[in-house]
Amino acid sequence: MKWLDKLRPTGEPWSLQELMAVSASSPRLLVEAIEVLGMQPVAWVVETSAEINAAVDERERRRGFPTSQTGRSKRATERAFLMLLMSMRGGGSSYLSDGLPDELRSIVRADVRHGIALEVLMNRVWTVHSVAKETLTESVRAEVSPEELIDVLAAINEAAFDFANVFVRLVAASYEEEQRAWRRRRSGEQREIVERVIAGHEPPEACDATLPVLWGGLHLCGVAWLDETGHSEYIERELADFGARAAGLLDAVGVFVHESQGLTHFWWNFDAAAPWPDAGSLEHLERPPGVRLAVGSAGRGVDGFRESYHAAEQTATLRHWPTPYDVVIADDVAHLTMLLADPDAAWRFVRRELRALAGAETRIAEIRETVRLYLSGGNSRIAVAKALHLAPNTIAYRVGQAGELLGRSVGDRPTQVLLALQLVDLVPSLLAERPERLPASHPPARTNQRQHVPVDRLPLEAVLRGAGTGAGSLVGQRAANFAP
């Protein structure tokens, strides 16, 4: 491409000193560009890049995109234009064969840290490329003979297309990589603040930039983990998306997500005047496959945040047990997780209270479910009959059978019997004759060891995609409190 040698800046030829004084590129890139293109073609690129940058800003304004009136924008335009021409000289996208050069990666890194969206960045990349090619084409028309022009323009189009395809892919990949690194760093800073607050310290006064949370508002915490069926190459993104959709469903002002010891922690934050969040609504929100969730109790202020965090952590100990529920709410199971803290004692309690009602037969399982709903619903046969689609007399008959299996009336120790029934509903393995030590010998559900994504104030689209995945959720499968 000999026509490259004909590119010249306006006026007199530039000296190296003039070039170094005006250029937005590093001396290293300039030296390499001069070796490949020559002094004056490089001077033309430096001069023209400022004009391209102004033209791109104007196009972005007309299209409604945020403009990039920063030194980064000028540096990126000039450096990308230099590499385009160097690649044309070398053939194809040869100067991108080793990935995005540090000259441009540093600019992408700065854009990530300044919160520039990938959509905005990619729009600018394509616009700069388009304007640069138009400018180059017009300059070539003035320097190349009509006989050569068609072939030269075809060569420019082919080389520019090849370069753009590789360049755009590398910029997008670099953006995602830099974003992950930035999130990991911010995640560590956020986790340090959270751990100090959990330990009893007051939130730091100057933490808004790192952790912009309304400490005086309402808080709801959750803990997620993967069961044995869970696997996804994109689990980070899927968990971040779930946290954002949950924030929209709950009407939270923000959500923070971070990983700690193999578990993914969600923290939804609400205005102080917001209504109390309905944690149970999360049971019906679609989750990534294989993800199970423990949700704490909502709380107000710093103390409320601590309580919600601890409640979610305590509820998440159910990951050590084989439970049929995918979503568990602290308000529903807090009393049960306390009993399960001593597995042997919980097993003995179930055997002592249920006696023959702990049998494995299908008929006895039906009786257990009936009595659990009966006792939790205010002893209303009619309400339980409606819930199970049975006749009230059938409910009465099953309650009577339960008394025979217990060796006493169901009403003699209703609280203890109900607790035992709730335990075996949550952890059916407690019905075993003598289970192996639980949960010590029962391995926890597999967790994903990749770093999850901390999310700062994600857009709160309330996307509700129907029922959750897996075996169901606790409130969704239990009967509501029945009126007599």
pLDDT per 10-residue tile (average), the chain, 484 residues:
83 90 87 90 89 79 61 80 84 66 82 80 84 86 84 86 86 87 79 91 77 92 85 79 95 90 93 93 94 97 97 96 95 96 94 95 96 95 95 96 96 96 96 67 40 30 27 34 32
Quick one: 253 and 173 in the same domain?
no
Quick one: 138 and 16 in the same domain?
yes
Quote the tokens at residue 300: 């107000």
In a domain, 190, yes or no: no
According to the model, what pLDDT value does residue 469 have?
Answer: 31
Helix (H, G, I), strand (E, B) or coil at 259: strand
In a domain, 482, yes or no: no
In a domain, 339, yes or no: yes
In a domain, 438, yes or no: yes
Domain interval for residue 363: 218-477
Quick one: 16 and 86 in the same domain?
yes
According to the model, what pLDDT value does residue 463 have?
Answer: 23
What is the spatial distance between Cα 374 and Cα 301, in angstroms, rounded to a whole number?
38
Among 164, 183, 202, give the residue marking a domain's end. 183
Quick one: 385 and 253 in the same domain?
yes
Task: Note whether 372 and 421 are within 8 A (CB).
Answer: yes
As for how many domains the chain has, the answer is 2
Quick one: 177 and 258 in the same domain?
no
Residue 202 DSSP class: P
Helix (H, G, I), strand (E, B) or coil at 218: strand
Q: Could you tell me the CA-to-CA distances from 381 to 366, 371, 405 in Å, in that order?
A: 15, 10, 19
Task: Note whether 142 and 2 are within 8 A (CB).
Answer: no
In a domain, 484, yes or no: no
Quick one: 243 and 305 in the same domain?
yes
In a domain, 195, yes or no: no
Among 158, 183, 208, give the residue marking a domain's end. 183
Q: Are strands 327-329 and 291-295 parallel, antiparallel or unpaired?
A: parallel
Quick one: 287 and 427 in the same domain?
yes
Q: How many CB atoms lie within 10 A of CB 140?
A: 20
According to the model, what pLDDT value does residue 52 have?
Answer: 86
Quote the tokens at residue 417: 């019997």
Among 166, 183, 200, give the residue marking a domain's end. 183
Task: Note whether 319 and 442 are within 8 A (CB).
Answer: no
Quick one: 171 and 244 in the same domain?
no
Quick one: 59 and 7 in the same domain?
yes
CATH number, position 25: 1.10.490
Quick one: 296 and 351 in the same domain?
yes
In a domain, 386, yes or no: yes
According to the model, what pLDDT value does residue 146 have?
Answer: 84
Quick one: 306 and 418 in the same domain?
yes
Quick one: 166 and 282 in the same domain?
no
In a domain, 42, yes or no: yes
